[in-house]
Structure 1
Amino acid sequence: MSRRKTVVVAERADALGPLTPVTAETYLAGEAGSTEAGLSVINLCPADRYLSEGYYVSLLADARGHAVLPNVDTLEALANVPAALRLLEDAGIPTFHGSGADRRRTLTRLAALGGPEIVDTVTVFGRTDHRAVGRLAARVHRRFPVPVCQMSFARIDDTWRLFHLAPVPLSRVDAAQRKELAEAIESGKLGLNGPTPKPVAVRASLAVLWEANDPFKPSEDDTLTRLERVAEKQGVRVQRIGLNDLERVAEHDALFIRCLTGPDLPSFRFAQRAESLGMPVIDSTHSILRCGNKVYLSELLSRAKVPTPRTATVVTGSDYDEVVAEVGSPFVLKVPDGSFSTAVFKIPTQAAWDRTVPGLLAGSPLLIAQAWTPTDFDWRIGVLDGRPLYACRYWMVPGHWQIRRAAQNAAGAVKDGRVEGVPLESVPAAVKRVACRAARLIGDGLYGIDAKEVDGSAVVIEVNDNPDIHLDYEDQAEGDWVYEELVAWFVKRIDEEVASPLKS
């Protein structure tokens, strides 16, 4: 397929490296071949006013079927900076709302907040030399594609937030940026694929509860960006909310919790609020309560005859030798509500029992002892609506018996084993079968099932709510399908909720 011919339009026909722009007047008059079919148009005219020449360049480019940057929808949006910031916030991009379009007054407000670090940058097709805001600038560009854009960011509470943006015409582009601009245009990698597409109608709004500073968050910023892009194609708007935004839950149709869960944590209140509003939610309060307690899971899996390692309950007065007789030695001791491998202890001897058990029983009346089942890796099977969603191997930390090794001292760092994505069709059928059986006992939401292969059979170790999904890790094998299925899960239940009053 041949590449589109690119026309650069500017106020004046100033040289842009090897390129010579046509003037806005020439383009609007339809001269110099500017009405040819299939053109790509880079509009570098001032277009900050409605019905200005630059505005008309983008408007007529769309009418002529040309692919144009920026398109008229982007220009309209950026003409109102506060409204543009709200749209970016809806897309999950951190913003700071200052004093409208007046950048200087916003800077004054920021100074009153303690004078946070400021980065002013000019992006060329979304790229900037400021690494601290590079990803954020690229995300802004994907939402509002502008060839050259001035963006201003402030670092507030350790989060970079956009507080101002404006297109930059060619007349205000310096020599270095002109060179970069010319090289980008010559390369043809501009994200121009045709006339302005009609926006996908918004079918639903999905709130994602997420805290950038949460060390245990199950998804990073880039993962949620991928979710947002996939959801947008399906007509679902994704908006991130924080732990101070409980009242905003009602503004949306569904809730996806992507921060640490637990009955005593703020996220639980968000799940309760969503359920009280009749909204589909991952993770439900039912899932959080049940997955968060290993005693409950042990009883549930045992009664359903889901295979697990040999398991015993430890209480005050339990005898080490009796536990060994039941599960073998060494064995693993677990605190019922522990997580992230931090409340799991290997007990190889009576002495280790004596050192460990009394202290643990002081904090919990019940403990779980489980047979020692050493393997090189654990299977992690993501299950959604009772079906496998993704699979990976969580390899043990080298020289350690767990997939995560806690810091050895105050100055030390947590170490995680390697994550290897595995195509679902390559996962042993027995592993997928027990994982789905275990998940269905809890509900139809999203669960991470930890399983092992032992002596040719599969056993379930744990059922986790709020499982990790990190870009290029858990989704490594299945790619965007993971996010498509998640969005479809929410849409199906939103539609059912809308239709339910109509059912007889």
Structure 2
Amino acid sequence: MTWVILTGRQSDLDQVATPHKIITNRDYLAHPSLFRGQRPKVINLSNNYGYQSRGYYASLLASSRGHKVIPTVETMIDLSERKLYEHALPELELALNKCRKDLGGAFPQKVCIFFGIGPSKIWDRFAKLLFDWFRAPALEVHIKDSAEWASIRKIGFHPLARMTEDEEKSFIQCLETYTNREWRDTKGRTPARYTFATLVDPHEELPPSEISSLRYWAKIAEKMGVEIEPITKRDLAKLANYDALFIRETTSISNHT
């Protein structure tokens, strides 16, 4: 099995840190004859995955060459904006909050996940689920914690150039673990058959349903092929785009409800 690691600069990763071949994304893009007749597995560690960057084109070209690559262009696009990955948050936050007891009741503001491996076994369930959703070498998850529920503020890539010395050591260990595993493709997500709008007022002091209950409901609905999308009164003009409306805001004859 041939593994190829792409970096933004030759100095980003020391060749002695891994037995696998390391080349820059520039060289990978400039030499189409590389690995001709082979089907290597490519780990793209570019420092920039932005649209039309070298990192972006390296994964795009890898796919066109028939090379297995992480992250794919689809993953890069998914993580470019919160609205493109917010459909994954209910399931991820449910797994995240199951870690609370083992973490002593409080979450860090940020956690790094390398190849689906967390900083300790406490994070296993969440880390594996995150990697299943977004197959990327290094991700950082920013967490907003409250007494009731820990929510995910942001999911983003964590490039080598921004890693601390300890993070890089952990990353190398996780890289070795990952490359010794059998390659697994990302699980396919069944497209939703229906979309339900859920009318909420984020500023309501005593709402009919707690946010945690709605998130759990969204997780159950997803398994049944139903996508739950929260809306507010400003979105009422778009109601025709949904299959159903679930009102989780206190109703009154004197307002929009």
Matches within 5 A, 1:345-494: none
Percent identity for Structure 1 against Structure 2: 22
Alignment match of 1:122 (pick from 94, 112, 116) = 112
Matches within 5 A, 1:84-233: 84=84, 86-89=86-89, 92-94=91-93, 118-129=108-119, 135-173=125-163, 174-189=168-183, 191-192=184-185, 202-206=192-196, 228=222, 230=223
Matched, 1:62 2:63: yes
* Map of 1:263 onto structure 2: none
Aligned partners of 2:115 and 2:136 also within 8 Å: yes
Matched, 1:239 2:232: no
* Map of 1:8 onto structure 2: 5
**Deviation of 1:252 (Å):** 4.2
Which deviations, in whole Å up to 9, do the C-alpha atoms of 1:231-253 show, x marking residues without a partner?
5xxxx4533769x99x99x5742
Give the partner amino acid of 1:11: G
The 3 A distance-change label for structure 1 pair 240 and 175 is same
What is the SS of the residue equivalent to 1:127?
coil
Give the partner amino acid of 2:227: V
Matches within 5 A, 1:19-34: 19-30=20-31, 33-34=34-35
The 3 A distance-change label for structure 1 pair 130 and 187 is closer
Which deviations, in whole Å up to 9, do the C-alpha atoms of 1:218-265 show, x marking residues without a partner?
xx96x975863x55xxxx4533769x99x99x5742589xxxxxxxxx
**Deviation of 1:142 (Å):** 2.6
Aligned partners of 1:6 and 1:42 also within 8 Å: yes
Distance in 2 between the 1:65 and 1:20 partners? 18
Aligned partners of 1:92 and 1:240 also within 8 Å: no
* Map of 2:103 onto structure 1: none
Q: Greater RCO between the two (CA within 8 Å, min separation 6)?
A: 2
**Deviation of 1:167 (Å):** 1.2
Give the partner amino acid of 2:132: R
- Superposition RMSD in Å: 4.4
Aligned partners of 1:117 and 1:155 also within 8 Å: yes
* Map of 2:202 onto structure 1: none
The 3 A distance-change label for structure 1 pair 240 and 79 is closer
Q: How many residues of Structure 1 are paired with residues of Structure 2 in the alignment?
A: 220
What is the SS of the residue equivalent to 2:136?
coil
Give the partner amino acid of 1:238: E
Aligned partners of 1:125 and 1:148 also within 8 Å: yes
What is the SS of the residue equivalent to 2:58?
helix
TM-score (norm 2): 0.64
Q: Which runs of 5+ in 2 are unaligned?
A: 95-105, 199-207, 252-257
Matched, 1:41 2:42: yes
Aligned partners of 2:143 and 2:151 also within 8 Å: yes
What is the SS of the residue equivalent to 2:21?
coil
Distance in 2 between the 1:40 and 1:19 partners? 10
Aligned partners of 1:121 and 1:130 also within 8 Å: no
The 3 A distance-change label for structure 1 pair 55 and 213 is closer
* Map of 2:255 onto structure 1: none
The 3 A distance-change label for structure 1 pair 152 and 179 is same
Distance in 2 between the 1:145 and 1:29 partners? 25
The 3 A distance-change label for structure 1 pair 157 and 207 is farther
Aligned partners of 1:10 and 1:23 also within 8 Å: yes
Give the partner amino acid of 1:163: R
Aligned partners of 1:18 and 1:182 also within 8 Å: no
**Deviation of 1:177 (Å):** 1.8
Which deviations, in whole Å up to 9, do the C-alpha atoms of 1:66-113 show, x marking residues without a partner?
222111122123223x33453434x65449xxxxxxxxxxxxxxxxxx
Rg larger in structure: 1
Distance in 2 between the 1:37 and 1:204 partners? 42
Aligned partners of 1:47 and 1:75 also within 8 Å: no
Aligned partners of 1:148 and 1:169 also within 8 Å: yes
The 3 A distance-change label for structure 1 pair 253 and 143 is farther
* Map of 1:312 onto structure 2: none
**Deviation of 1:60 (Å):** 0.8
The 3 A distance-change label for structure 1 pair 48 and 143 is same
Aligned partners of 1:27 and 1:57 also within 8 Å: yes
Which deviations, in whole Å up to 9, do the C-alpha atoms of 1:112-140 show, x marking residues without a partner?
xxxx9543111012321266665444433
